[in-house]
Homo-oligomer: A and B are copies of this chain.
Amino acid sequence: MAATLADVAKLAGVDLSTASRVLAGSEQVRVRPETRDRIHVAAKDLGYRPNRVAQALRTSKSSTLGLALPQVDNPVFTDMISGVETAARSRGYSILITRIGGASAGEALLQMAEANRVDGVLVISFDSDRVLESALGGLKIPVVMINRRAVKGAGYVVHDSRGAAYKATRYLIEAGHRRIIHLAGRLDGYNGSERHAGYVAAHQDAGIELDPSLVLEVGYDAERAAQVLADYLKSVAPSQMPTAIFSATLVTAAGAIRTLHGLGFDLPRDFSVIGLNDGLLATLLFPQLTTVALQSVEMGRRAAEMIIDQINDDLAPAHVTLSPGDVVVRQSVAPPRDREIVLQSG
């Protein structure tokens, strides 16, 4: 049905191989100008489009990137996906997407990677994941991790999570808060542990003693964060009641705000909340969320470019750390209500 290279060659009165050179090759190939023209005209007339499948078979290059991620309904992930999509397309690559849920992660990856369908694999995930690690270890094509440190040899792009967390925490401290809950991700992963470290460092630099019981490991899920926070607040003694929350992610901050409303707190008068990562969601919360912006779209872009460089130019895998943006000031942070406590500690 569709015109093939042979059709073009025939119409142009040249050999198939000549047509291939002209159409695929750069402007550099030495061909008589009139021949070149005839071929281009023929191609245009027939509406010729190279069969990418045949090209891929012949060259072992599919110009396709695999994108593996655990879920597509997290606003931070969608930012990264946008970045990947943009960069990939501008360099002529397509994206084959696959969800890597728990146990089936390995098989899904192998399906993509071992069957010559993709030239490289980008992996977005929260923190560590053993299943994934072993599956990735066996691949013979480039792998770049997005938002987490890499398994041996793979490239990665991460946020300066510690720096971002430091900024966020310090912002609360400067607003006068002294008892600050940290809704942490997974403390055994890169982001979770680094963000916790930033939270700790900000306290230390301010000379504030840390209360380990203020760190709640809630993962990366709004529901779970909401639940764990609710349990904590119901159990804490009134005299020990914190005045602020630093949430490691956007969705857990959203979950926290929901819980605070549910318990009758008036925000931000009774409780201040700051999150990490900016986005539309932050403006839809009430009060609108003050956050430290992170370069999530850029993260996707950089990862895609890195892997394409590895594929095409055989560059070594790189390790990029993106610096945090500024604090985006909205309405979720206010000075603590009880001024006396503030003055005592400060």
What residues of chain A have their CB less than 8 Å away from a CB belonging to chain B? 1-2, 49-54, 56-57, 62, 64, 67, 71-73, 75, 78-79, 81-82, 85, 89, 94-99, 108, 110-112, 114-117, 140, 222-223, 251, 254-255, 257-258, 261, 280-281, 283-288
Q: Which of B1, B97, B223, B284 contacts A95 (CB 8 A)?
A: B97
Shortest distance in angstroms between A56's beta carbon and chain B's nearest beta carbon? 5
* CA–CA, A171 and B72, complex, Å: 32
Known: A57-B53, A73-B75, A285-B286. A222 touches B280 (CB 8 A): yes
CA distance A280 to B284 in the complex (A): 13
CA distance A116 to B222 in the complex (A): 41
- Closest B residue to A94 by CB, please name it: B96
Beyond A53-B116, A254-B284, A284-B285, 10 additional pairs, beta carbon < 8 A = A52-B116, A57-B57, A64-B96, A72-B81, A73-B82, A223-B280, A258-B286, A258-B288, A281-B284, A284-B284
Given the complex, which residues of B lie within 8 Å of A98, measured CB to CB? 85, 89, 94-95
- For A95, give the chain B residue with the smallest CB separation: B97
Task: Tell me which residues across on chain B come within 8 A of A54, comparing CB atoms.
Answer: 57, 116
Which B residues are in CB contact (< 8 Å) with A67? Answer: 97
CA separation between A54 and B285, bound complex, in Å? 50
Picked from B53, B57, B78, B116, the residue with its CB within 8 Å of the CB of A115 is B53
| Bound-state Cα–Cα, A78 to B89, Å | 21
Residue of A89, A255, A281 with most partner-chain B CB within 10 A:
A281
Q: Taking the nearest CB of chain B, how far is it from the CB of A93, in angstroms?
A: 11
Bound-complex Cα distance A49 to B116 (A): 10
A248 to chain B, nearest CB (A): 17
Report B-chain residues with C-beta under 8 Å of the C-beta of A108.
89
Residues in chain B near residue A95, CB distance under 8 A: 96-98
Question: Would A99 and B85 be within 8 Å (CB), given that A50-B115, A116-B53, A258-B286 are in contact?
Answer: yes
Distance, CA A60 to CA B40, complexed state (A): 26
Nearest opposing residue in chain B for A80, CB measure: B72
CA–CA, A117 to B49, complex, Å? 12
Most chain B beta-carbon neighbours within 10 Å: one of A50, A53, A111, A287: A53
Check if B283 sits within 8 Å of A258, measured CB to CB. yes
CB neighbours of A51 from chain B (8 A): 57, 115-116
- Please name the residue on chain B nearest to A286 by beta carbon: B286
Minimum Cβ distance to chain B for residue A66 (Å):
9
Report B-chain residues with C-beta under 8 Å of the C-beta of A114. Answer: 2, 49
Q: Given A49-B110, A53-B57, A72-B81, answer yes or no on A117-B94 (Cβ-Cβ < 8 Å).
A: yes
